Structure 1
């Protein structure tokens, strides 16, 4: 083989090796991020289930939380304060025993964690509230920056019809 052909072949081989190395490093970083994000959400759900915290502790101030579907609370909330004040506080004020989640499964894909879970508690009227949820959570630096929530709107609306307890 001529010297020129050898040089071109060497350059091509080096370029392929660099590309494979970069892709492997990127994949390794992505897998590490997925693992860390999944662990962050799992820990928050564990704290919620034990009554020592909640996933809402991870909300970024400028979180964009969308409740999909046709429930009484369905819309996009464009800040942590809006979501907490318009959904979480009124929800909790209707409960005598707060929700306890049970994760069915949890998935991670890069910065997105999907949590499929059941949650149950007791409403102020003594009725059991049970629902199944799927949350798609986008994380940045361990904070939830965007969320889409899916759940049974009929069960939610029944609870939402109860009066809000004074704080």
Structure 2
């Protein structure tokens, strides 16, 4: 085999092995993405939510400047905030996933949520959650959303004490 032909063969083997290695997701990525996909499916069907994946000491950050923006240091702390939102809704938020991307221990999901508020007006929002997993549980989340829509809901729908 000529030197040129050998170099071409080596280059082809390297190119193929690099593209195959780069294209193959790890089992952790697949597992975490599957957990998120199943949690959203369960949520759509009224059988739980993505919050079920949270570790008890998960840190959750809501980006932006809404009344609930900030960092929450536990699942219990976050639950209080979620209750303050859902208490203003006549129907549960129904999620529709647009995409899920996984890399290493991180899963990013882009989704849209629809509900009806207590004042019978729609509450629609788009979310992007950047979730970090450890041992099958979410340990950290940064949530991006339309904080204007959330702020509107929180100020528009007053809770009766």
TM-score interval, smaller chain: 0.7 to 0.9
What is the aligned partner in structure 2 of residue 32 from structure 1? 27
SS at 1:97 equivalent: coil
What is the aligned partner in structure 2 of residue 14 from structure 1? none
Which whole-Å CA distance do the structure 2 matches of 1:92 and 1:143 have between them?
24
Q: Please say if 1:114 is aligned against 2:111.
A: no
Q: Which of 116, 127, 135 is the equivalent residue of 1:133?
A: 127
| CA deviation string 1:111-162 (max 9, x = no partner) | 1000001000000000000000000001111111000000001100011112
Which 5+ residue runs of structure 2 have no aligned equivalent? Answer: 1-20
Structure 1 residue 164: Cα displacement: 2.8
What is the aligned partner in structure 1 of residue 75 from structure 2? 80
Structure 1 residue 102: Cα displacement: 0.4
Which whole-Å CA distance do the structure 2 matches of 1:165 and 1:110 have between them?
45
What is the aligned partner in structure 2 of residue 49 from structure 1? 44
- Normalising by structure 2, we get a TM-score of 0.82
Q: Please say if 1:164 is aligned against 2:159.
A: yes
**Which contiguous aligned blocks of 4+ residues in structure 1 show a shift greater than 6 angstroms?**
none
Which whole-Å CA distance do the structure 2 matches of 1:93 and 1:69 have between them?
21
Which whole-Å CA distance do the structure 2 matches of 1:68 and 1:143 have between them?
21
- Normalising by structure 1, we get a TM-score of 0.79
Root-mean-square deviation (CA), in Å? 1.7
Rg larger in 1 or in 2?
A: 1
Q: Please say if 1:145 is aligned against 2:139.
A: yes
Which 5+ residue runs of structure 1 have no aligned equivalent? Answer: 1-23
